[in-house]
């Protein structure tokens, strides 16, 4: 599986883009930055968009991604998310006020469809996708993505997420990589808990119960203003990403 980190920061700052991760050139996980990072011809290759939740750092470029796809491609694009996420997009962004109701602009066939991600998983352009409920906000999801022998997990914004760590444990080391959000430094633990995010110590607690741990663990969604502090506090077996990285698992 090819994984391109287009952006993965927990906020917008100069040089830092919010979350958009491109899988195998055609499946986009979250829509925080792809339109401003990818050239148009690569945007046109996107066929599925998996949304973890509707917070603006994860959806803010969705209107512009869909605009590029809608105007220049003939293939279907499916936007997946929980029922809460799809409803929030319809009511608050694609509502005819903030942005057009894009699903109603479809031409002869449905070029853009919004679909509720089924609990028992779905296929997206050759990838098998399973959803993981997280505690961040109602309807927030993580995704477990399988491509042949490679399994990779993206936590989305999580909160403490015991279900996520139980699932990691149940995979018994078959997970090639875990991308997990860490947003705030340890000194902000109370605020992190209030906003349902992780700190390095809270991540360490979640990882402590895992044996064996996934081959590689990457912290992402770090708030840029706290980057140096968070990186200094990460558990020793956890790397971090800030955007621009490319992996093959
Ligand atoms: Zn976020
Ligand atoms: Zn969020």
For residue range 174-203, list pLDDT tens digits in order: 899 999 999 999 999 999 999 999 999 999
Between the CA of 8 and the centroid of ligand 1 the distance, in Å, is 9
Distance 9 CA to ligand 1 centre (A): 8
pLDDT over threshold 90, residue 214 = no
d(CA 18, ligand 1 centre) in Å: 8
Taking a C-beta distance cutoff of 8 angstroms, is the pair 19, 180 a contact?
no
Percentage of the chain exceeding pLDDT 70: 95
Could you tell me the distance, in angstroms and rounded to a whole number, from the CA of residue 221 to the centre of ligand 1? 7
- Asked if residue 102 has pLDDT above 70, the reply is yes
Question: Tokens 């779905």 identify what position?
Answer: 122
Angle between the N-to-C axes of helices 162-170 and 200-208, in degrees from 0 to 180, rounded to the nearest 10:
40
Please, which residues have CB less than 5 A from ligand 2, an ion? 55, 157
Domain, as residue range, for 143: 2-248
How many folded domains does the chain comprise?
1
Where are any strands of DSSP class E within the chain? 2-7, 20-23, 27-29, 48-50, 77-81, 112-116, 122-124, 127-133, 141-147, 150-154, 175-181, 216-220, 238-240, 246-248
Please write the tens of the pLDDT for every residue from 26-73: 999 999 999 999 999 999 999 999 999 999 999 999 999 998 887 766
| CATH number for 100 | 3.60.15.10
Q: How far is the CA of 143 from the centre of ligand 1 (A)?
A: 15
Name the pTM for this structure: 0.96
Residues in the 5 Å CB sphere of ion ligand 1: 55, 57, 157
């Amino acid at each position: 599986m090819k994984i391109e980190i287009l952006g993965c920061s927990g906020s917008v700052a100069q040089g830092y883009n919010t979350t958009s991760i491109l899988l195998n050139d055609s499946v986009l996980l979250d829509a925080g930055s792809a339109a401003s990072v990818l050239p148009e011809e690569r945007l046109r290759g996107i066929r599925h968009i998996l949304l973890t939740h509707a917070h603006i750092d994860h959806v803010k470029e969705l209107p512009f991604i869909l605009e590029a796809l809608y105007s220049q491609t003939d293939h279907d694009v499916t936007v997946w998310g929980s029922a809460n996420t799809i409803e929030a997009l319809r009511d608050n962004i694609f509502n005819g006020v903030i942005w057009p109701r894009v699903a109603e602009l479809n031409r002869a066939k449905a070029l853009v469809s919004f679909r509720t991600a089924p609990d028992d998983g779905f296929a997206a352009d050759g990838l098998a996708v399973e959803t993981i409920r997280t505690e961040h906000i109602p309807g927030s999801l993580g995704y477990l993505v399988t491509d042949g022998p490679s399994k990779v997990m993206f936590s989305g914004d999580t909160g403490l997420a015991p279900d996520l760590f139980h699932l990691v444990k149940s995979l018994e080391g078959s997970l090639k990589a875990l991308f997990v959000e860490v947003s705030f430094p340890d000194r902000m633990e109370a605020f992190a808990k209030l906003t349902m995010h992780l700190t390095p110590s809270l991540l360490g607690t979640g990882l402590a119960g895992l044996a064996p741990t996934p081959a590689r663990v990457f912290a992402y969604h770090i708030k840029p203003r706290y980057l140096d502090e968070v990186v200094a506090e990460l558990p020793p077996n956890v790397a971090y990403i800030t955007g621009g990285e490319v992996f093959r698992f």
